[in-house]
Amino acid sequence: MDLIAGIINLDHEQDLLEELTYFRCGAAVPFAGRYRMIDFTISNMTNSRIESVAVFARRKYRSLMDHMEQGKSWDLDRQRGGLFILPPDWNDPTDLSRGDLQHFHNNIDFIRRTLADYIVVSGSQNICSIDYRDVLESHKESGADVTVVYKKVEELQPEHNLAHKLTIDDSGQVMAIHNDQQSKNVYMDMYIIERDYLNYLVENCIAHGCSHLFLDGIKGRLPDIHINAYEHEGSHALINSVESYYRNSRKLLNESEHDELFNEESPVFTKVKNEAPSHYAFSSNINNTLVANGCTLEGHVEDSILFRGVKVGKGAVIKNSIIMQRCEIEENAVLENVILDKDCSISSGRTLIGAPEKPFVVAKRKTM
Amino acid sequence: MDLIAGIINLDHEQDLLEELTYFRCGAAVPFAGRYRMIDFTISNMTNSRIESVAVFARRKYRSLMDHMEQGKSWDLDRQRGGLFILPPDWNDPTDLSRGDLQHFHNNIDFIRRTLADYIVVSGSQNICSIDYRDVLESHKESGADVTVVYKKVEELQPEHNLAHKLTIDDSGQVMAIHNDQQSKNVYMDMYIIERDYLNYLVENCIAHGCSHLFLDGIKGRLPDIHINAYEHEGSHALINSVESYYRNSRKLLNESEHDELFNEESPVFTKVKNEAPSHYAFSSNINNTLVANGCTLEGHVEDSILFRGVKVGKGAVIKNSIIMQRCEIEENAVLENVILDKDCSISSGRTLIGAPEKPFVVAKRKTM
Amino acid sequence: MKNKECVAMLLAGGQGTRLKSLTKKIAKPAVYFGGKYRIIDFPLSNCTNSGIDTVGVLTQYEPLILNNYIGIGSSWDLDRSFGGVSVLPPYMQADGGGWYSGTANAIYRNMEFLDQYNPEHVLILSGDHIYKMDYNHMLEYHIAAEADATISVLEVPWSEASRFGIMNTNDEGRITEFDEKPEFPLSNLASMGVYIFKWDVLKRYLMEDEEKEDSSHDFGKDIIPALLNDNKKLNAYTFDGYWKDVGTVDSLWEANMDLLKEEPGLNLSDNKWRIYSKNPNQPAQYIASSATVRNALINEGCRIYGTVDTSVIFYGVQVAQGSVIKDSVIMPNVKIGKNVKIHRAIISEGSVIEDNSVVGDSSPDSQITLVAEEGSVMASSYATIIK
Amino acid sequence: MKNKECVAMLLAGGQGTRLKSLTKKIAKPAVYFGGKYRIIDFPLSNCTNSGIDTVGVLTQYEPLILNNYIGIGSSWDLDRSFGGVSVLPPYMQADGGGWYSGTANAIYRNMEFLDQYNPEHVLILSGDHIYKMDYNHMLEYHIAAEADATISVLEVPWSEASRFGIMNTNDEGRITEFDEKPEFPLSNLASMGVYIFKWDVLKRYLMEDEEKEDSSHDFGKDIIPALLNDNKKLNAYTFDGYWKDVGTVDSLWEANMDLLKEEPGLNLSDNKWRIYSKNPNQPAQYIASSATVRNALINEGCRIYGTVDTSVIFYGVQVAQGSVIKDSVIMPNVKIGKNVKIHRAIISEGSVIEDNSVVGDSSPDSQITLVAEEGSVMASSYATIIK
């Protein structure tokens, strides 16, 4: 079996989730009731038998560190291999690298020392369930230098504007990488590459003063190198804005969307917490809602997502909202189209109503 | 039993160990054949039944993170409490704190949420075996606001110049904290304080624009607050320069010094590695030397310290030297008064001789 | 050499036959409770929360699940370099060895394990009870009283006292007599099966008991009477929290229902006294538009399309549309089809209940129905069940 | 549901009586070897290095140390969410249960454990041998040959063949006959006690064997002959590395001495095939000015003031001034006084050797002296030993 190693490169992911990314990077944003965004990427790697994963983090990575620990939750707490979060702590005065190449350069030992012949490089904003062993197979069959993963979306959404798009010929070879707003071939910010070729690209890019491995080292070489495209056929969500976060979260209330992401064959792992089962009072009325453990529910909740330990008081009404860990919604409060970050308190009788296309976001630990 | 929590504050420790601290902070410098400097501080805390330890790191903390992981080596990999390394990843635009108060401010939850009533704050440069429960007892008896730990040194050494000194009255109360070069009461950069009082000091110091909790918040208040002095009577080494590192390392070749630091009652813990036992060849001749596991010894070594996995070829001669992990000393090389950092190779026949008072230091991964 | 003040020994070898087929393949301490837990989570969490970090778990009957569940104890923060949890199955020795023949014999055969830690006191626990207790308070009482042994007791209603082992005490709380299920009880202080002994005293009595051919090697029947007989100082420590023996199907059901009362005696969400357990990896629970959920505990991985009323639902359970679950306990990964009615029942792990099945009897005094692993229905039954 | 291609079952229940008092309080697989290791480190590390991440360890005799040592397998990177190491002691079941009555019976009683993983193949290992082997190569050979069972064999000198279980094979490596210790061996291919079976085939044979009243429920004596008898496809897989049965005091001593040869057959420092073990926490070893150390393996925590020549010294050993240790194996935490002479001996864990003692016999053909736990000296002896 071919060994694959993983790199999760967060360097060029911008923190565009407003209040949700004031104090944490996008990869650490809570998602789907009990996960963080990065859980999906790490779990895909684990489920593809990747045993060695490096995370390139630049800023606001503290909560990511707390969450990932040594990787035990993903069975990646190993003596050989394992999960490494690599914050920018560089002290080599002779280092010439720039941009995300600083990460590749300063962590080149990860690439050089791994026993794996192939490396998957991925971001954290494309939520999906994918087996990288299938991508590798396509890569090997194609004989390409690099294989990129893309999704043919049915309908373009605003979040796709920021993504790269691919022009692909009949044989699956990438002819162009661009930002054409009409193209539906959305590049999912994941590629697989031979270890030695990646090592070469890193050195070559640094020697030429480049600052972005994918743009300069891969896209920039396009006529000269063979890029193969792998189509991801399952469900897919690109989350790079509050609006896309909100819409894609609520998509999980749809059973088939939910089941495609959470299936027994490739479970999504996360750091587990000790929480009692959720308690539904006599007075509760909960409909079409995802609920994590540790909640105490006495009010009315519909079309919403409740994270761990949320309390909803009697007479409170919550609709179309996402309520994160340990929020407390007191009696008779009304929330509609709202995202509450962790540890918020909404006083008895308050009403907060956002717009369906622009939810009202409350930063963590706010009392209103 | 009173609970104590620990803070290891590396913020104002300067990296004065030349080549040894080019790429790592002082706390991460290898010491005594198989340890890192910080192991002694963490182990003292563990042996004092401290179950919750925060490490305030500012720069060059990568190797510290690799070493500490989640604290398993110190039995501090816990769901409640545990070992936290806290690099500077702060993103609060309203944050007014400066200097080491940035750490205290941004990690104030550690202080506020701990179940412990007392907190020990320590640096990593004072190597000793101390039980903080004894310090706490003295603190409680004295009724003081803060209890600082000091060593009455027999002979002043150059490294003591940089340390603070204490003037103490007969009752053990600190009358002055200063840098008097003649004073032998060396402050060991450790104090114990009530949790609530520490919290107050942090808030008060920030409100007054201070930048150094100990100097501004404790020393600076001296006539007004009661500072108790606790004398540490066991062996002690202050390591803040290559010269003090070298002298204090070699002091461990003395049996009684060694036994005071490494005793069964308060073992020193470190991250364990899988290494075979060291192999001594027929041709080896080893005298008065500490040897870690995984070494292959064919030459002559005396009055030295060999870390893990060192290879000493036939005919090589090593005297008064400290050789760190995985160095390779080829046949007939001669080393005297030398410190080799990790992964150095000394070619066959080379001779390197430093001075007893100023060892020759070679940075890591050098081939000479 | 280091030593431990108090080491706990948890007797987890019992088969729990009164729990019927719930314990066919697992030891009783591994039986599920409260939507998420296994019985053994309670004594283990009590140890952690009481600062007792060294626990021997004595197993004998179907230990595979218990072994896997306990692992090295990390779920309870009991994975410690010196101490922590050790599973202690029966074993063979150079001069024989063998099965544990009684509770006292089980400790006797693990004297070497205990001597490693050189403890002053040994805390004996059983894995059959649901309660939250600070053993450290009991230990302090035991030490202050300079007792040879301290037995934790609970005031039970006088009318029920004859079902328990009853301690008769003098004014200072010293035990004068131990009455196993007395016809005419003189006291209503019932033993909870939680003992603290001075280790040196216990050790001597264990060795003496081992020599007695007619002994059943049991704490209640042999060791405690022997100590009383020798006029050793035995004290009663009165506990007054929630405590429930879940040794029968009915009492297991009742203990689960107790969690749904207006003011439950047992708070599972107290952050200061967490009940730790191994957490399954499951997505958030989903309550559909068609669902009605009232007065229920529901765990992650569940999907509820029907009605759940006054019930405890473990992880991974599916309840399809039109089904009604009332006054019941549904254990992990049960699949319940459409238009099923379940009343006053315990459905065991992994069962599949076909569409339109009817399980249990809704009349308030009816027996509790147990649907067990292989599809058998124990009491009243109109169910069609497929595994 | 997930499954595992190959699950390993490690037979670790043996007492190893030929190792005399070394195994009085510990199972044979827990016996020390090589200055740092226990025998079981070798098969467990082989599993890790071969990519086999699910291992059942069958224990029966004195398992306390083995249990504690194995824990959840983190020392060997075998602490895995699905799979990893499980310790499998004998247990009681609703319908009886009991001790393992033979190697095959031990596997039979753990069929449920295996079925959890639904493996294609099962690798049977024993905990008695020192060797480094890539089981994955053997598995590939087994799969390619579509064999029902594959047995790992080793070429032994013809003169010694009658001491082993000998496999007679045809040209394609298919086993035609199995001769247990034949007087006139027809082949020199000796079984290493390492088997791979198709799980469905093995399972059937285990169940059939269980029914046979006269069976000793042993792989070599019963299962393999039954397969051959039914003309199942059994292949021999030839291994040609270092392999040593360390079942006697002499062979354990020899295997240790083998590590000190000019070109040792077994490389303990190969980073590509690490031998993992639980690492004790000890400071660096100290070699004093008065010491002479030649041709030795020495572990951390040792303090050597005397002479160590061609010996293997475990962790925490002290050798005082004037003492000479030659051709010997000194197990952990042994304290050796002044002016002691030790030749051709194994000193077991924690022994204290008084000043001026003389242990062992330096003549090259003499028996190896074993100094065991309670101060007994097995062969030649002039020693005074205090524990």
ipTM, interface predicted TM-score of the complex: 0.86
Q: pLDDT digit string (tens) for C123-135? A: 999 988 999 999 9
- Where does the pLDDT of residue C383 fall: very low under 50, low under 70, confident under 90, or very high at 90 and above? very low
* Chains touching A (3+ CB pairs < 8 Å): B, C, D
Decide if C77 and B78 are in contact by the 8 Å CB cutoff: yes
Residues of chain B with pLDDT under 50: none
Which of chain C's residues have a Cβ under 8 Å away from the Cβ of A288?
287-289
pLDDT at D380 (0 to 100) = 33
CA distance A11 to chain C (A): 29
The answer, yes or no, to whether residue C214 has pLDDT greater than 60, is yes
- Where does the pLDDT of residue C384 fall: very low under 50, low under 70, confident under 90, or very high at 90 and above? very low
Other CB atoms within a 10 A radius of the CB of residue B161 amount to 12
The answer, yes or no, to whether residue C286 has pLDDT greater than 70, is yes
pLDDT at C2 (0 to 100) = 59
Which of chain A's residues have a Cβ under 8 Å away from the Cβ of B79?
274
Residues of chain D with pLDDT under 70: 1-2, 94-97, 373-387
* Chains touching C (3+ CB pairs < 8 Å): A, B, D
Its sign, for the CA torsion A58, A60, A64, A66, is: positive
Record the tokens describing residue B122, joined without a space.
Answer: 């320590």
| Average of per-residue pLDDT values in chain C | 89
Which of chain A's residues have a Cβ under 8 Å away from the Cβ of D79?
77
- Where does the pLDDT of residue C166 fall: very low under 50, low under 70, confident under 90, or very high at 90 and above? very high
Q: What are phi and psi of C164, to 5 degrees?
A: -115, 170
pLDDT at D377 (0 to 100) = 42
Decide if C279 and A273 are in contact by the 8 Å CB cutoff: yes
Residue of B nearest to D270 (CA): B276
Contacts of C11 (CB under 8 A, 6+ apart): C58, C103, C106, C124, C125, C126, C127
pLDDT at C142 (0 to 100) = 97
Q: pLDDT digit string (tens) for B86-102? A: 988 887 878 888 899 99
Which of chain A's residues have a Cβ under 8 Å away from the Cβ of D82?
75
Q: Is D81 on the interface with A (CB under 8 A)?
A: yes
Which of chain C's residues have a Cβ under 8 Å away from the Cβ of D59?
89, 91
| Residue D74 to residues B211, D49, D111, Cα–Cα distance (Å) | 44, 14, 25
Q: Chains A and D: how many Cβ contacts under 8 Å?
A: 11
Contacts by A308-313, CB closer than 8 A, 24 or more apart: A308/A33, A308/A34, A308/A273, A308/A275, A309/A275, A312/A284, A313/A348
CA distance B151 to chain D (A): 25
CB D26 within 8 A of CB C91: no
Q: How far apart are CA A108 and CA B137, in angstroms?
A: 50
- A43, A49, A78, A131: best to mutate for the D interface, most D CBs within 10 A: A78
Other CB atoms within a 10 A radius of the CB of residue A154 amount to 7
Which of chain B's residues have a Cβ under 8 Å away from the Cβ of A87?
62, 87, 89
Decide if B274 and A69 are in contact by the 8 Å CB cutoff: no
- Give the closest of D23, D63, D93 to C62, CB-based: D93
Tell me what percent of the residues of chain A surpass a pLDDT of 70: 100
Q: What are phi and psi of D169, to 5 degrees?
A: -125, 160
Contacts of C114 (CB under 8 A, 6+ apart): C7, C9, C56, C107, C122, C199, C203
Kindly state the greatest CA–CA separation across chain A. 68
pLDDT at B38 (0 to 100) = 97
- Give the closest of A33, A276, A287 to C36, CB-based: A276
- Give the closest of A22, A69, A89 to B62, CB-based: A89
Residue of A nearest to B61 (CA): A89
Which of chain B's residues have a Cβ under 8 Å away from the Cβ of D266?
none
Contacts of D193 (CB under 8 A, 6+ apart): D124, D125, D126, D128, D129, D219, D220
Instruction: Report the candidate in C311, C315, C307 with the shortest Cα–Cα distance to residue C290.
Output: C307
- D79, D269, D297, D302: best to mutate for the B interface, most B CBs within 10 A: D269
Decide if C91 and D89 are in contact by the 8 Å CB cutoff: yes
Q: pLDDT digit string (tens) for C227-278? A: 999 999 999 999 999 999 898 899 999 999 999 998 889 999 888 899 999 9
- A46, A70, A291, A319: best to mutate for the C interface, most C CBs within 10 A: A291
What are the DSSP calls for A33-79, one per residue? TTEEHHHHHHHHHHHTT--EEEEE--SS-HHHHHHHTTSGGGT---S
- Where does the pLDDT of residue C382 fall: very low under 50, low under 70, confident under 90, or very high at 90 and above? very low
Which of chain D's residues have a Cβ under 8 Å away from the Cβ of B276?
34-36, 268-269, 275, 297
Residue of C nearest to B73 (CA): C81
Q: Is C5 on the interface with B (CB under 8 A)?
A: no
CB A166 within 8 A of CB A148: yes
pLDDT at D387 (0 to 100) = 31
The mean pLDDT of C8-25, rounded to a whole number, is 80
The answer, yes or no, to whether residue A35 has pLDDT greater than 90, is yes
Helix, strand, coil percentages (3-state) for chain C, rounded to 5, are 25, 30, 45
Pairwise pLDDT comparison (A88 vs C203), residue with the higher score: C203
Instruction: Report the candidate in D256, D205, D243, D255 with the shortest Cα–Cα distance to residue D103.
Output: D205
- Give the closest of B61, B86, B89 to A60, CB-based: B89
- Where does the pLDDT of residue C386 fall: very low under 50, low under 70, confident under 90, or very high at 90 and above? very low
Q: pLDDT digit string (tens) for A103-157? A: 999 999 999 989 899 999 999 999 999 999 999 999 999 999 999 999 999 999 9
Which of chain D's residues have a Cβ under 8 Å away from the Cβ of B288?
287-289
Record the tokens describing residue A2, joined without a space.
Answer: 């071919």
Q: Is D276 on the interface with A (CB under 8 A)?
A: yes
Q: Is D24 on the interface with C (CB under 8 A)?
A: yes
pLDDT at B206 (0 to 100) = 93
Contacts of C323 (CB under 8 A, 6+ apart): C305, C306, C307, C336, C337, C338, C339, C340, C341, C342
Decide if C77 and B79 are in contact by the 8 Å CB cutoff: yes
- C58, C65, C92: best to mutate for the D interface, most D CBs within 10 A: C92
pLDDT at C374 (0 to 100) = 54
Decide if B305 and D284 are in contact by the 8 Å CB cutoff: yes
What are the DSSP calls for C130-188, one per residue? EE---HHHHHHHHHHTT-SEEEEEEE--GGGGGGSEEEEE-TTSBEEEEEES-SS-S--
Decide if C79 and B80 are in contact by the 8 Å CB cutoff: no
Q: How far apart are CA C255 and CA C268, in angstroms?
A: 13
Which of chain A's residues have a Cβ under 8 Å away from the Cβ of B22?
91
Q: How far apart are CA B289 and CA B303, in angstroms?
A: 5
Contacts of B223 (CB under 8 A, 6+ apart): none
- Give the closest of A282, A288, A294 to C289, CB-based: A288
